[in-house]
A = this chain, B = another copy of it.
Amino acid sequence: MTSTDNLKALTDHMRRFITLDTAEESLLANYIQFRDVRNKEHLLVSGHICKANYFVIKGCFRMYSHTDSGTEQIVQFGIDNWWIADYTSLDSQQPSFFNIQALEPGVVATLERPAQEELFTRIPKLERYFRHILQRAYAATLMRFHYIFSQSGEERYRHFNSLFPDFVQRIPQYMLASYLGFTPEFLSKIRAKKN
C-alpha cells in the first residue's frame, strides 16, 4: 500500500457522501498522517486524552472499557472504512473513558484534533461528511439496543453471525462474547449445540 493508495481509500469513502475536487483532496492530505499499527497496539488508553480521530484503512480495532469487576467490556468494533475515537474525550480534551486497540496489524489515517478543526474551516463540507458518519453510527447503536433487549444470547450470536460471517472469523471468540454481552463459556456452549 502506498501513501497514495491510503489517501484514495479515505477520499473514496468521503465521496460516498460529499463531492471532493482534486484541490481539496490534496489539501486534505496536508492534515492527515498515515500510520501503520502493529497487532495489539493501542491508539488510545483510558485516562489519557484522545488526541485524534482515526479512520481505519486496513485492520480491525476494538473500543473497550474496564468494568468495576476488572474485566474488559467491548462497546464497539472498527474495521475498514470506519472512524473510531472517544468523541467525548476528543471534544472536551478530558481523560478518556475508553481504550482503542488493534486486533491485527493495520493502517489508519490519523486526523488530530487541531488539524480537524482547521480542516473544517478550510473544507466546510467535511462537517457534512462527518455528520453523515455519526448519524449512521448513532442509528446503528439504536438498532443494537433493540437486538440486545429483544433477543436471547443465542439469538444475538446467530443473528450477528448471519450478518457478519466473515468478521466473526477475524476476531477471538471471547471478544465477540464481550461485544454481544455474555461470557466466552456461554458462546462456546452455543457453538457446541449445532452448526
Contact = CB atoms under 8 A, between A and B. Distances in A.
A148 interface: yes
A75 B145 contact: yes
A135 B92 CA distance: 12
Interface stretch (A23-31, A61-69, A160-168, A185-193): A61-69
Interface stretch (A36-44, A103-111, A126-134): A126-134
A142 to B, nearest CB: 5
A98 interface: yes
Contacts of A136: 87-88, 91
Contacts of A97: 143, 146
Contacts of A125: 124, 127
A1 interface: no
A67 B67 CA distance: 29
Nearest to A138: B138
Q: How large is the interface on A (under 10, 10 to 19, 20 to 34, 35 or more residues)?
A: 35 or more
A136 to B, nearest CB: 8
**Interface majority SS on A: helix, strand, loop or mixed?**
helix
Contacts of A132: 91
Contacts of A98: 142
A69 to B, nearest CB: 7
Contact of A127 (B124, B139, B146, B150): B124
Given A131-B134, A134-B134, A69 B139 contact: no
A75 B140 CA distance: 12
Interface string A7-46: 0000000000000000000000000000000000000000
17 contacts: A65-B146, A67-B149, A68-B150, A73-B146, A73-B150, A75-B142, A91-B135, A97-B143, A97-B146, A98-B142, A134-B135, A138-B138, A141-B142, A141-B145, A148-B148, A148-B181, A149-B178
6 smallest beta-carbon distances between A and B, as pairs:
A67-B150, A134-B134, A141-B141, A127-B127, A131-B131, A75-B145
